[in-house]
Structure 1
Amino acid sequence: MPKIANYGYLLSAGLETHVVIHPTLHNAANNIRRIRKAARHCLFADEVKLKFYRTYTKGNCELECESDRMEHECGCVTYYLPRSSKNTVVCGLKDFECVRRVQYASESLLDEDTSCARCVPGCVSLNYLPVISGTELLKEDFILKENFSNPDINIEELAVIHFFYEFNSFRARTKEEFLGFADFLANSGGILGLFLGFSMLSVIELLYFMFLLPHTIIKNYFSRKKDIHKEEDISEASTSVKVILYLID
């Protein structure tokens, strides 16, 4: 099996091993799509199209990245990696050093330029995490059926493995926007209301005293000034009328 160190687990003979499987479902709310990919650290399946796989996962992306890099640098691809065409050469023993170098560079986290660091986790994924424990088998005749034993079986060469779920259900982890604009306004209003007695009426009053009140004062000032000019014009006109009447008399 390829990459046993990455994906495999070592189980010893002579032990009864229990493998508890813990499913982990990672989900994502649709509202995080507007967040930059570099900020949310995950990709939706319809945001990236892989060359060899239908569905985007971090594992599929890493295998595709390693295959492309190996074909480019070594001129061949190992038998367990996807190949771009049927004519792609499968790596042999003579390509071992080049293959190891590419594998190390692809899995390295120190240099993002030579690694597959662009392969971030999927926003929606289902993973199975095992928890392994074991104990030694009893040094007695191994009973195959009731009242029947086989003394020829060597316990030290036998391994018993149990796979099971610890619970019948599991929780999903949902990634969503922690604080949206509406949440920010609500939280800000609540905090200000708690410490300052702040409310929407306070906002209206603040806007009134900042904009509406000065506007009203200025408007009233010019209105009174205009009325004064009108009164002066009327008084001058009445004086002229009196003078004309006196001359006629």
Structure 2
Amino acid sequence: MPQSSLYYYAMLPEQTSSFALKYNVVATSKEVKDYTPEIRHCYFPGERDLRYFKVYTENNCRLECLSNYTYNMCGCVGFYMPHNTSDRICTVQSKHCMESVIEKIAETETAGIKSRLCNCLPACNTVEYDAEILKTKFNIKHYLMSKKDKDSVAFWKK
């Protein structure tokens, strides 16, 4: 599910940008399917259903967990969270409660404890993408002048 607050890229004037896309493929052998997800540390398709998503991914699980936990603790959900149409959307008055929920989930994850709160293990078979963006200053006037000079030299060499 897109979360624009986490992923964005602004192109600025007078800059040139390049973009490198990397990917990582994880394929788990079916021979380990007899072990529990807690032992093998992943879920195969169909082993973990989510309420708001048809496809299980660790990120979808975490987002759904955040939504469910926020609703249970605050009685509302953020407008950007998956929710039922009957769920109340949090207002500014609920900001402190929502922030405390995010902190609580972050604490359990950073403590190295596999939280029973979410139990979001990776999927056994995944493809993950990572983008690397490089930006450098670009002076269009200087570029056009150098191109013009090179074109002139090339013309006179003929």
Q: Answer yes or no: same fold by TM over 0.5.
A: yes
Helix, strand or coil for the counterpart of 1:140? Answer: helix
* TM-score, length of structure 1 as denominator length: 0.50
CA distance in 2, matches of 1:73, 1:34: 36
Q: Aligned-pair distance for 1:38?
A: 1.9
Deviation, 1:49, is: 1.1
Cα deviation digits, residues 97-141 of structure 1 (max 9, x gap) = 11111112223322655853x101100111111122221111528
Q: Counterparts of 1:93 and 1:142 in 2: how far apart (Å)?
A: 49
Aligned to 1:240: none
29 and 98 in structure 1: CA distance in 2 versus 1, 3 angstrom threshold: same
Unaligned runs of 5+ in 2: 149-158
Cross-structure match for 1:157:
none
CA distance in 2, matches of 1:41, 1:114: 14
Q: 1:12 to 1:130 in 2, by over 3 A?
A: same
Partner in structure 1 of residue 136 of structure 2 = 135
The structure-2 alpha-carbon separation of the partners of 1:113 and 1:125, relative to structure 1 and needing over 3 Å to count, comes to closer
Runs of 4+ displaced beyond 4 Å: 9-12, 111-115
User: Which residue number in structure 2 is paired with residue 220 of structure 1?
Assistant: none
- Per-residue Cα deviation, 1:191-218 (whole angstroms, up to 9, x for no partner): xxxxxxxxxxxxxxxxxxxxxxxxxxxx
Closer, same or farther in 2 for the Cα pair 1:94/1:140, shift >3 Å?
same
Q: Which residue of 1 aligns with 2:155?
A: none
Structure 1 residue 16: Cα displacement: 1.3
**Residues 20 and 132 in structure 1, CA contact (< 8 A), matched pair in contact too:** yes
**What amino acid maps onto 1:121 in structure 2?**
P
Residue 102 (structure 2) aligns with: 103
Partner of 2:85: 86
User: AA paired with 1:18?
Assistant: S
More relative contact order in 1 or in 2 (CA 8 Å, sep 6+)?
A: 2
Q: Residue type matched to 1:73 in 2?
A: M
C-alpha separation between the residues in 1 aligned to 2:121 and 2:116?
15
Match of 2:24 in 1: 24
Superimposed CA distance per residue, residues 172-201 of structure 1 (whole angstroms, 9 cap, x where no aligned partner): xxxxxxxxxxxxxxxxxxxxxxxxxxxxxx
Higher-Rg member (1/2): 1
Distance 1:127 1:82 in 2: 22
Unaligned 5+ segments in structure 1 are 148-249
How many residue pairs are counted as aligned between the two chains? 140
1:12: how far off?
6.0
The structure carrying a bigger helix percent of its residues is: 1
SS of 1:130's partner is strand
RMSD: 2.5
Q: 1:71 to 1:137 in 2, by over 3 A?
A: same
Contact 1:106 1:114 (8 Å CA) reproduced: no
- Tell me the CA shift for residue 27 of structure 1: 1.2
